[in-house]
Amino acid sequence: MNTNRRNFLKTTAAIAAGTMLVSPTFAGMAEKKSRYKISLAEWSFHKALFANEMTNLDFPRVTRELGIEGVEYVNQFFKDKAKDEKYLGELKKITKNEGVTNVLIMCDGEGMVGHPEETERKKTVENHKKWIDAAAFLGCHSIRVNAGSRGSYEEQQKLAADGLRMLCEYGDTKKINVIVENHGGLSSNGEWLSGVMKMVDHKCVGTLPDFGNFTIDRQTGEEFDRYKGVELLMPYAKGVSAKTNVFDVKGDEANMDYFRLMQIVDAAGYKGFVGIEYEGSEISEKEGIIATKKLLEKIFVTL
């Protein structure tokens, strides 16, 4: 173990221990049992992972030390291990020993699900199959994919729906869902993505509404209303991504109304994991994760 990784893990453990010394007010909140469970998106630790301060195998243990019970992997942090049964077996053993639930795998870099050329769409589907297999092995319920495409609004809907249906047909054989996050481009348009869901019309397809990803065009600054977007995507949700960036002095997310967002989630009757995805830079990754967890727990007791 390198020095950076050892120091990172020690610091994380120390911070985790500090969170156990909660105030009476916070302890009182825990008395009300919430129907929601909290998971952690691995991207929340992307800086530490890219710096080799922790590894994908460390992720479940660090997650549990922070008092979080589910993990959401990002494929690029074990990109060459999708078919490595020994590695996946070790990862599965770690999560079992830690009492952590494997929730999903976020898949990037495997091609455009809605590629205009049929051969490329089929290639993308083939590229994702190994991640569906890995998710099934680990006991996850879903893989998250991107609905990238090219063409007009309507053309991209049809192309993305075609690629997703092919993926769902394979996912169905493994009992794995194929879910789409609002992740830039037209996928961040709630009307467009909900329309794609209707077109696919398969029990294995779904959405992963991300509270923060509603920028359609970064160059022009075009955005879709986040509250309307979450409302449109929640009927198809098989996961929820609680994105945070900046916190105010009260511990609330400074740029979005988290109470309103979780009320939309709650009104939809959602009962699954709510995944923390901290992307800010004003505080450390560990502190941002803990701050998001406290914010969610504060809201859960009001729902």
What does the domain layout of the chain look like in residue ranges?
A: 3-13+46-300
- Tokens matching residue 143: 């893989």
Lowest-confidence region among 30-39, 68-77, 233-242: 30-39
* Residue 21 pLDDT class (50, 70, 90 cuts): very low
Report whether pLDDT(187) > 60.
Answer: yes
Residue 24 clears pLDDT 70, i.e. is over it: no
pTM: 0.90
Measure CA 128 to chain center.
17
Outline where DSSP puts E strands in the chain: 37-41, 70-74, 101-106, 142-145, 177-181, 205-208, 215-217, 222-223, 240-244, 273-278
Q: Which CATH superfamily is domain 3-13+46-300 in?
A: Divalent-metal-dependent TIM barrel enzymes (3.20.20.150)
Q: Is the pLDDT of residue 282 over 50?
A: yes
Question: 22 vs 251, which has greater pLDDT?
Answer: 251
Cα separation of 219 and 239, whole Å? 29
Q: Could you report the per-residue pLDDT of 53-102, keeping only the tens digit for each?
A: 999 999 999 999 999 999 999 999 999 999 999 999 999 999 999 999 99
Q: At what angle do helices 285-300 and 3-19 cross, to 10 degrees?
A: 30
Name, in order, each residue with C-beta under 8 angstroms of 95's C-beta and a sequence gap of 6 or more. Answer: 60, 71, 101, 102, 138
